[in-house]
Amino acid sequence: MADLGNPQNTIEILKKYEFSFQKKYGQNFLIDTHVLDKIIRAAEISSDDFVLEIGPGIGTMTQYLAEAAREVAVVEIDDKLIPILEETLKEYENVTIIHGDILKVDIEGLVQEKNQGRPVKVVANLPYYITTPIIMGLLEGSAPVDSITVMVQKEVADRMKVGPGTKDYGALSLAVQYYARPEIVANVPPNCFIPRPKVGSAVIRLTRHQTPPVQVQDEDFLFRIIRASFNQRRKTLVNSLNNSPELQLTKEQVTKALEQMGLPAAVRGETLTLEQFAELTELLQ
Ligand code: SAM
């Protein structure tokens, strides 16, 4: 099968199947061999690995993954793409095509079946409309995940990577950094895709921590505090936490905890580090 990273080959396949792009599925197919090589390199795939690819499209990146990994499973929602994948991937005996919605697939069961429960590497050019639920589902879920190397909107990659005091810093930054070490691998312009997305993209690799960088008694309480702190960005932390229906905290309780931490009563959530959020959680527990 011809290399689909070559735009000519992609166009030929799309024509042959009279494929029309579905906006609702976030379909922007990669047509740049350099970017594909970079993703595969960043994911550090070896011939012993089991890889899960989310949204294979016509199978462009899958061909690269199948060459590098022991076994690959792809999950594609669009039924029109299934016969195309069956053709473009027919030479690869190590690829399993699953027709379904990634948010509903039993990833833990899949990893158990294909990799005897050993950690999977996830690689994808993600559909942008569900980037956050996919990534948070993988980080919070019960399936063992070694790393996640994905193409996302540039702005979302920045939000995952940044620390306190920047405008992009928020609940997503803290949640991602609690579970993993983020690293931006490449910035990718719109002309590397067909059709071209309206925004710039970036490849980000999230390497899962063996143990989280902070320890708290109640993870769920930590994340409720984080979410509440960024719900109303312009409010002080005391007001945001006091106003949250997810928490039952008085202004006095929060003020006292901040005082114990040596922080001013008017502090905003966007200035706190993950370590400080963990300390605050323990004090408010
Ligand atoms: N991997 C291909 C590439 O790089 O050329 C396609 C990437 S495209 C950005 C996203 C793909 O995810 C599309 O094929 C789309 O149909 C698929 N997709 C969208 N929503 C999905 C879902 N909930 N579950 C599985 N696949 C989905």
pLDDT digits (tens, 9 = 90+) for 28-75: 999 999 999 999 999 999 999 999 999 999 999 999 999 999 999 999
Q: Average pLDDT for residues 74-98, to the nearest whole number?
A: 98
What integer is the mean pLDDT of 91-117? 97
Contacts of 159 (CB under 8 A, 6+ apart): 168, 169, 170, 172, 173
Query: For the whole model, what pTM was predicted?
Result: 0.95
pLDDT at 233 over 90: no
Q: Residue with the nearest Cα to atom 23 of ligand 1?
A: 101
Give distance in angstroms: CA of 77 to centre of ligand 1.
Answer: 7
Note if the bond before 190 is cis, omega within 30 degrees. Answer: no
Report the nearest-CA residue for atom 18 of ligand 1.
55
Q: Is the pLDDT of residue 5 over 90?
A: no
**Could you read off the pLDDT of 182-220 as tens digits, one per residue?**
999 999 999 999 999 999 999 999 999 999 999 999 999
- Residue 11, both tokens: 């166009």
Burial class (CB in 10 A: 0-12, 13-18, 19+), 70: middle
Phi, psi dihedral angles at 139 (to 5 degrees): -75, -35
- pLDDT, residue 3, reads 85
Name the token pair of 115: 């990799």
21 lines ligand 1 (CB under 6 A): no
Q: Which two tokens stand for residue 279?
A: 């300390």
Distance separating alpha carbons of residues 3 and 59, to the nearest angstrom:
10
Whole-angstrom distance, CA of residue 28 vs CA of residue 230: 31
What's the 29 CA to ligand 1 centre distance in angstroms?
A: 8
Compute how many other C-beta atoms are within 10 angstroms of the C-beta atom of residue 182. 19
| pLDDT, tens only, 120-175 | 999 999 999 999 999 999 999 999 999 999 999 999 999 999 999 898 999 999 99
How do beta strands 145-153 and 120-125 pair? parallel
Which ligand 1 atom sits nearest the alpha carbon of residue 193?
A: 5
Whether residue 2 has pLDDT greater than 80: no
Q: In this predicted structure, what is the pLDDT of residue 79?
A: 97
Ligand 1 within 6 A of 272 CB? no
Q: Is 125 in the pocket of ligand 1 (CB under 6 A)?
A: yes
Residue 31's pLDDT is what?
Answer: 96
Q: Are 256 and 241 in contact (CB under 8 A)?
A: no
Per the DSSP assignment, residues forming a β-bridge with 214 are none
Does any ligand 1 atom lie closer than 6 A to the CB of residue 7?
Answer: no
Distance CA 175, CA 223 (A): 8
For ligand 1, whether the C-beta of 43 sits within 6 Å is no
What is the average per-residue pLDDT within 228-240? 92
Query: Does ligand 1 have an atom closer than 6 angstroms to the CB of 176?
Result: no
Q: Is the pLDDT of residue 1 over 80?
A: no
For position 225, what pLDDT does the model report?
97
Q: Please give the Cα distance from 24 to 26 (Å, whole number).
A: 6
